[in-house]
């Protein structure tokens, strides 16, 4: 009887050890699956975060360009700059509308335009006539370059076809405005 109890005890110990090993392996597999799922979620969030940043940053730049172009239409004495500012205002309003529409489809609400960085708007409003055109054209060159960089970056970082189409439709127009703005800058200097 004693031999039987020892063998049963040994059997239970071995069975328990095997069960613990299988449980540990199963936990490792679950942990691995959980880690893979977490990394997939983080990768997806990263792309979504990049897209959200793109929409918000582009909307901010567009709205500032619209505001600066409206100021230019009132303050400049140069006919060429006035015409450029009208076309830029129209184009940037279109960009803003397209960005906002696409962001809304992705449930990204662009409601808060960056008000903290409006010092450049105040400088432009307060600029003297002789410095105004140069300041406006410099601001537009910088803003167009920033917007082009955002568009180029998002085309490299997203797989979203609608964003790629939007960026590819906007980029050539922005390049043309940038060239025209730089030519006007050279003429004024």
- Long-range contacts formed by 175-178: CB under 8 A, 24+ apart: 175/148, 177/84, 177/87, 177/88, 177/91, 177/140, 177/144, 178/141, 178/144, 178/145, 178/148
Segment 89-137, tens digit of pLDDT: 999 999 999 999 998 888 887 775 555 567 777 788 888 887 899 999 9
Residue 9 counted as domain residue: no
pLDDT at 4: 47
Number of domains present in the structure of the chain: 1
> Tokens 């903290």 identify what position?
116
pLDDT at 139: 94
CATH number, domain of 74, equals 1.20.1260.10
Are 95 and 101 contacting, i.e. CB atoms less than 8 angstroms apart?
no
pLDDT averaged per 10 residues in sequence order, the chain, 189 residues: 50 59 54 51 65 89 93 92 96 94 86 63 81 92 95 90 93 96 89
> Closest by alpha carbon to 153, among 171, 176, 178, 177?
171
Residue 118 counted as domain residue: yes
> Closest by alpha carbon to 60, among 124, 137, 118?
118
Helix (H, G, I), strand (E, B) or coil at 1: coil
Residue 109 counted as domain residue: yes
Helices (H) and strands (E) in the chain, counts: 5, 0
What is the number of residues in the chain?
189
Residues of the domain holding 138: 54-188
Residue 11 counted as domain residue: no
Are 121 and 71 contacting, i.e. CB atoms less than 8 angstroms apart?
yes
Residue 150 counted as domain residue: yes
Q: d(Cα 119, Cα 22) in Å, to the nearest integer?
A: 65
Are 64 and 93 contacting, i.e. CB atoms less than 8 angstroms apart?
no
Residue 19 counted as domain residue: no
> Tokens 């410099």 identify what position?
138
Whole-model pTM?
Answer: 0.72
pLDDT at 126: 81
Residue 183 counted as domain residue: yes
pLDDT at 142: 94
Cβ neighbours for 61, distance < 8 A, ≥ 6 positions apart: 143, 146, 147, 150
21, burial (CB in 10 Å: exposed 0-12, middle 13-18, buried 19+): exposed
């Amino acid at each position: 009887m004693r031999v039987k109890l020892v063998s049963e005890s040994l059997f239970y110990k071995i069975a328990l050890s095997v069960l613990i090993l299988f449980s540990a392996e199963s936990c490792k597999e679950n942990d691995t699956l959980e880690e893979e799922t977490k990394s997939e979620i983080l990768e997806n969030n990263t792309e979504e975060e990049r897209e959200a940043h793109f929409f918000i940053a582009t909307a901010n730049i567009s709205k500032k360009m619209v505001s600066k172009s409206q100021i230019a239409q009132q303050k400049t004495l140069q006919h060429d700059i006035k015409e450029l500012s009208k076309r830029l205002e129209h184009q940037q309003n279109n960009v803003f509308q397209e960005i906002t529409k696409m962001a809304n489809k992705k449930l990204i609400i662009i409601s808060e335009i960056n008000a903290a960085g409006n010092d450049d708007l105040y400088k432009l409003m307060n600029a003297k006539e002789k410095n105004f055109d140069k300041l406006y054209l410099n601001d537009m060159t910088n803003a167009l370059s920033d917007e082009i960089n955002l568009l180029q970056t998002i085309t490299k970082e997203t797989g979203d076809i609608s964003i790629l189409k939007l960026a590819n439709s906007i980029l050539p127009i922005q390049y043309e405005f940038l060239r025209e703005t730089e030519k006007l800058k050279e003429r004024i200097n």
